[in-house]
Structure 1
């Protein structure tokens, strides 16, 4: 049975790695995108912080956002992601002795209890159950150790290059670390999963044990859900080594932002301050609509319209909108024939003297365009 579960998990994680490219992200090439704002909200107490636009993936503010730190229970974001992507929510899980023995923050699992995978994920995200995380891992991969390997692979697939997990719940270990930026990447991915987003926005809920049949009331550890009206997720984390941590999302007038604060004495205040600053001082600008002709390539026979495959949106400080520029760079010599769908250049998006994106440009995909 363990071998079968591991095979299932391994095949599924390959599909998850592939499906990562389907996220609505701006097509940035090259190194990790730096924060585009040097200034930001004053007096952020966190040792490390980042503010990200969920739709575009743009970083709006950063403070030591790539510094490796213990992530505490924000680790459970990745555990929940793989729980949904590799498991069946209605699958019945029998709690093992090992899972029941996990201490610190728990949902008080006992050996032999039966509960669905969905309820375990809810217990991990809402009440931060360390025991629930181990039960999730054992159900999907047979052992926590094998599941952690999948967590690390998925993190890399999402671009989280400064993350390494040693367990599923964030209990302190020397080589268990992440960054504010990496956690934002993971949370952004999680928010694309409807069940993940639905669970993390709940202030209070119940989980149902099947055997014995018991209902358990859960209250979310994320107090921002009570004191900030736009808050809709995601996860707290606290250990002595990590300090107080929070990954927080909020949606206002259809725009969703994501704040991460690590080792923050005032984590809820910091997150609210970052989110409010982002809503007030930044905006999302659409530069190109889907299948909109951007320019004309000077081919031999006649100018050929070129396109980006997707719309191009960019999130920037409102004060810097006038500094936003686009440049077309041809990669194919002029006066050459062009095949249908051929890449002929790229559209570069610049904010002042900083190159923001580089987006491929292709000719019309239908028909064949020939030069003389």
Structure 2
């Protein structure tokens, strides 16, 4: 009886250990989180890959997330030390404010901090008139930049995001693209990651102290941006970002009653389920699908490495294709760009790496490759036959 109990107990323990060691299925591991947001998107900043989308192409109100575009257009078209004189139209703008005074002078950099940390609608108008000459002129620049970034379902009518018309809208995926684009700019990245900033307050005995409204900077490990937003019609909106081990992700949640938790869930999901994989190394030898005539010692190498965020199950779906701009590789082409290695995830191209010619120093033992090897071997046979005859 004791032996039987012992064996039964051992079997239970063995099965339990096997269960623990059994690999979790990819489908279960990759299950996206449940969100309160009506629309949401998650993007890998470096690659621009959308990792998750909920109603990603739905046109929605975006409230003060608009100011991400306002900031990046201003940074790219102005100078941080520009002195801006506050125009009358920027005074008393409804909603969030940094309490600008008419004809007060601040630098563009100070206004950008007021725009992104305290969501100053008055700062947005002051920036717009300084950079674009008018609010209308600035919104033209905003829409022009949106088109260049690839925001295909977006239209801006103002620099702050207040509910002034049904023609001011974007989508979760478009806003994710915007966040990723803006976060690649070091000035923007510095501003949105700042928790507290003091800026001048002309005519007052003290400076303005700006405390960032983005609670994610305190709530989430590695959080470093981006922008909060709210209007009565748009409801709670949030653009968030975080960096871990040198890798940055960004999220968008629109009309989200639980936006802080939604963003944290999405970031956790992205970091855990989409690790960055190096698909090609720098200086890696590449052989075209169709052999090319190549000089002795010549071969093709990648100019740089290429990495991409992938789920485990996606790695087997990566394909490579060599596209050449030259039909023959000669010894004097050492170091020249002659083609590209294109990488595909299923049928979608995810990137391409330049291919260079590398010609090694010839040695007596170095093998010939491609057509040169074929024709030399052919001639040796022919010449050998003639000589022996």
**TM-score of the two chains, using structure 2 as the length reference:** 0.77
Q: Which has the higher strand share?
A: 1
Higher fraction of helix: 2
- Whole-Å Cα distance in 2 between the matches of residues 365 and 240 of structure 1? 62
Query: Following the alignment from structure 1 to structure 2, what is the Cα–Cα distance between the partners of residues 58 and 261?
Result: 17
Q: Distance in 1 between matches of 2:273 and 2:29?
A: 13
Separation in 2, partners of 1:225, 1:301: 56
Deviation at 1:182, TM superposition (A): 1.4
The count of aligned residue pairs is 329
Secondary structure class of the residue paired with 1:286: strand
How far does residue 358 in structure 1 lie from its aligned partner after superposition? 5.0
Can you list the C-alpha shifts for 1:170-209, whole angstroms capped at 9, x where unaligned?
1122111111111122111221222211111122222213
Say if 1:239 and 1:312 are closer, same or farther in 2 by CA, change over 3 A. same
Structure 1 residue matching 2:251: 3-state secondary structure: strand
Deviations 1:56-87 (A, max 9, x none): 21121111212111111001001111111111
In structure 1, distance between residues paired with 2:183 and 2:102: 32
1:147 pairs with 2:138: yes
User: Which deviations, in whole Å up to 9, do the C-alpha atoms of 1:102-133 show, x marking residues without a partner?
Assistant: 11111111111111110100000000001101
Q: Which residue of 2 aligns with 1:96?
A: 87
Assess, with a 3 A threshold, how the Cα gap between structure 1 residues 140 and 312 changes in structure 2: closer, same or farther. same
Asked if 1:134 is matched to 2:125, the reply is: yes
The alpha-carbon deviation at position 363 of structure 1 amounts to 4.4
* 1:315 counterpart residue number: 309
Alignment of 1:1-372 (within 5 A): 40-172=31-163, 173-210=165-202, 214-296=206-288, 298-302=291-295, 305-317=299-311, 319-330=312-323, 336-338=327-329, 340=333, 341=336, 343-344=338-339, 346-350=341-345, 353-359=346-352, 362-364=355-357
Q: TM-score, normalised by structure 1?
A: 0.80
How large is the Cα RMSD of the aligned pairs? 2.7
Q: Which runs of 5+ in 2 are unaligned?
A: 1-27, 361-369, 373-389
**Greater C-alpha Rg:** 2
Q: Report the CA distance shift for 1:127/1:332 in structure 2 as closer, same or farther (over 3 A).
A: closer
Q: Is the 8 A contact 1:73 1:238 kept in 2?
A: yes
